[in-house]
Chains A and B, each alone.
Chain A
Amino acid sequence: KAGVTQTPRYLIKTRGQQVTLSCSPISGHRSVSWYQQTPGQGLQFLFEYFSETQRNKGNFPGRFSGRQFSNSRSEMNVSTLELGDSALYLCASSWENTGASNTGELFFGEGSRLTVL
């Protein structure tokens, strides 16, 4: 069974540009979450999607957005890039589909490493 696939793995952008990252979850998983990982702030939750709906959102500015398609694939977009957006962006999927709390395991992709110059 294929794991979570993230593309691209590495990319370099300049300040002011925008970027789109893609995530294909494990087959059958309907929940997709995104995390930002930096040396200074650690792992921070961005947002979570289920059935094309954003169910949960972290404390990030509106420049960070995402969406989920009917096949559960997800994209996240960062507009007007800043130097501080340089990070490893991790996508995770889960089969959890009901309930008020995620009790299950998140399966993570290898991440997309974004460098902003």
Chain B
Amino acid sequence: AQSVTQLGSHVSVSEGALVLLRCNYSSSVPPYLFWYVQYPNQGLQLLLKYTTGATLVKGINGFEAEFKKSETSFHLTKPSAHMSDAAEYFCAVSRSWGKLQFGAGTQVVVTP
């Protein structure tokens, strides 16, 4: 069975500081991994995804994530936080047709 664990339900970062959101998965086979962002009163928007190939994945809005099979991790980073990055972030693993299993989410607050 696959599961997704996001460490920290809330993260507060200063504007300009590094954003690091942690995601670990459990899977018996190499998974397909995703990071989504949700702004208030909106749906989910894909930030980036890992399927196969390069383990360092670049996404939109300056975010990137590294797939580390040995650590079963897929942490999301952004070198310099912007006020517009305040949102909730979800890590997800693909399970089967149209079905993603999501982590519990991490709420990011950006302080001036």
Interface positions of A (Cβ within 8 A of B):
4, 31-33, 42-43, 45, 48-50, 55-56, 58, 90, 92, 94, 96, 100-103, 105-111
Q: What chain A residues lie within 8 Å of B105 (beta carbons)? A: 42-43
Q: How far is it, in angstroms, between the C-alpha of A109 and the C-alpha of B42 when the chains are bound?
A: 8
Interface positions of B (Cβ within 8 A of A):
32, 34, 36, 41-46, 49, 51, 90, 94-105
CB pair B44–A94 under 8 Å, yes or no, is: no
CB pair A101–B32 under 8 Å, yes or no, is: yes
Q: What chain B residues lie within 8 Å of A100 (beta carbons)? A: 96-97
**Chain A at the B interface: mostly helix, strand, loop or mixed?**
strand
Residue B44 contacts which of A32, A55, A108 (CB distance < 8 angstroms)? A108
Task: Say how far B36's CB is from chain A's closest CB, in angstroms.
Answer: 8
CB pair B98–A33 under 8 Å, yes or no, is: yes
Q: What chain B residues lie within 8 Å of A48 (beta carbons)? A: 97-99
CB pair B43–A102 under 8 Å, yes or no, is: no
Q: What chain B residues lie within 8 Å of A32 (beta carbons)? A: 98
CB pair B99–A102 under 8 Å, yes or no, is: yes
Q: What chain B residues lie within 8 Å of A105 (beta carbons)? A: 34, 46, 49
Contact A92 B102, CB 8 Å, known A108-B45, A110-B42: no
Known contacts A32-B98, A102-B94; can you find 15 more A-B pairs with CB under 8 A?
A: A4-B43, A31-B97, A33-B98, A43-B102, A45-B101, A48-B98, A48-B99, A55-B97, A101-B94, A102-B32, A103-B32, A108-B36, A109-B43, A110-B42, A110-B43
